Amino acid sequence: MAEAEKLATTVVTMKDVIFMFSSVSRAIEQLNTDKKPPQSDSPMEFHSYEIKILISESRFKKELKKVFTGAKNLANAKEWEKDDILEKYDYLSADDLEDEMVLVKFSQTVLVGKPDANGVRRESFPIKQIGIKGKVQDHAGLTVDQDTAIGNGTKGHFQFRPVDGKNGLYLYPHLLCITDLVPYTGGEIEEDLDSLGLEDLDDTDVVLEGEQAVEEAAVVEMDQDIAF
């Protein structure tokens, strides 16, 4: 299995993960267990974009828990046995799973920073999503862009940014590079991609792509909100 790769201590790449219940464009409302008052009137207060990756327990311990000890989002990682996963999600392939697996959640709040003079908070920098081929396709030639809805079982590479802030260490989702797309079919019309005559593209260098995305996100990196 591929191991996490560090990039200038700002981005960590984990290759060959399985994405579950993930979206870079559909925000999920978070539980406000502390009953904090909203910082603005935006309906997107207490909403986050969530990325969940399914990896082996050995990878979780070696590449995440050991390296990023105390990271807030690792405490809520869910352990799964292979048989239980296959019983609940029978569309997953047994060949892709080890006996002990872990589901890890990474999230990014939709709104960041304090309200301006007009009481408006700015939107966070989006989690980037690309395809492995030319940044626009997966290995099978399926289109992948920022608006592509990915289904459970989608495979690819994942990048996150460790940020050690005033509330502790948190691992923020940064980039998804889709290698094998499972299209999300909930209410969507399937595309007839075979009729488009798609051409082969060179594989995307996910590490280089992450470097470029880091540069783009640098202006907002320091004041990210901690999301749980």
For the stretch 16-36, pLDDT in tens is 999 999 999 999 998 888 889
Instruction: Report the pLDDT value the prediction gives residue 33, as an integer from 0 to 100.
Output: 83
Average pLDDT over residues 89-109: 96
pLDDT band at 4 (very low <50, low <70, confident <90, very high): low
pLDDT band at 7 (very low <50, low <70, confident <90, very high): very low
Instruction: Report the pLDDT value the prediction gives residue 159, as an integer from 0 to 100.
Output: 97
Considering only CA atoms, which of 214, 227, 17 is closest in space to residue 104?
17
Instruction: Report the pLDDT value the prediction gives residue 31, as an integer from 0 to 100.
Output: 85
Instruction: With a cut of 80, say whether residue 221 has pLDDT above it.
Output: no
pLDDT of 168-218, one tens digit each? 999 999 999 999 999 998 643 334 445 445 555 555 555 555 555 555 555
Average pLDDT over residues 123-133: 94
Instruction: Report the pLDDT value the prediction gives residue 189, as an integer from 0 to 100.
Output: 35
Average pLDDT over residues 4-14: 71
Instruction: With a cut of 80, say whether residue 226 has pLDDT above it.
Output: no
Distances (CA, A) of 17 to 40, 41, 73: 36, 37, 17
Instruction: Report the pLDDT value the prediction gives residue 224, as an integer from 0 to 100.
Output: 42
Considering only CA atoms, which of 89, 66, 108, 76 is closest in space to residue 19?
89
* pTM score, whole prediction: 0.78
Positive or negative, the CA dihedral 61, 63, 67, 70 is negative
Q: Helix, strand, coil % (nearest 5) of the chain?
A: 20, 35, 45
pLDDT of 148-162, one tens digit each? 999 999 999 999 999
CATH 2.40.50 assigned to domain 5-28+46-112+123-189+199-219? The reply is yes
Instruction: With a cut of 80, say whether residue 220 has pLDDT above it.
Output: no
Instruction: Report the pLDDT value the prediction gives residue 125, as an integer from 0 to 100.
Output: 86
Considering only CA atoms, which of 4, 51, 63, 57 is closest in space to residue 24?
51
Instruction: Report the pLDDT value the prediction gives residue 199, as an integer from 0 to 100.
Output: 54
Instruction: Report the pLDDT value the prediction gives residue 202, as an integer from 0 to 100.
Output: 57
Percent of the chain with pLDDT over 90: 71
For the chain, give the mean pLDDT: 84
Whether the CB-CB separation of 174 and 128 falls below 8 Å is answered with: yes
Residues found in the chain: 228
Instruction: Report the pLDDT value the prediction gives residue 216, as an integer from 0 to 100.
Output: 52
Q: Is 211 exposed, middle or buried (0-12, 13-18, 19+ CB in 10 A)?
A: middle
Cα gap 101→86, rounded to integer Å: 11
Instruction: Report the pLDDT value the prediction gives residue 213, as an integer from 0 to 100.
Output: 55
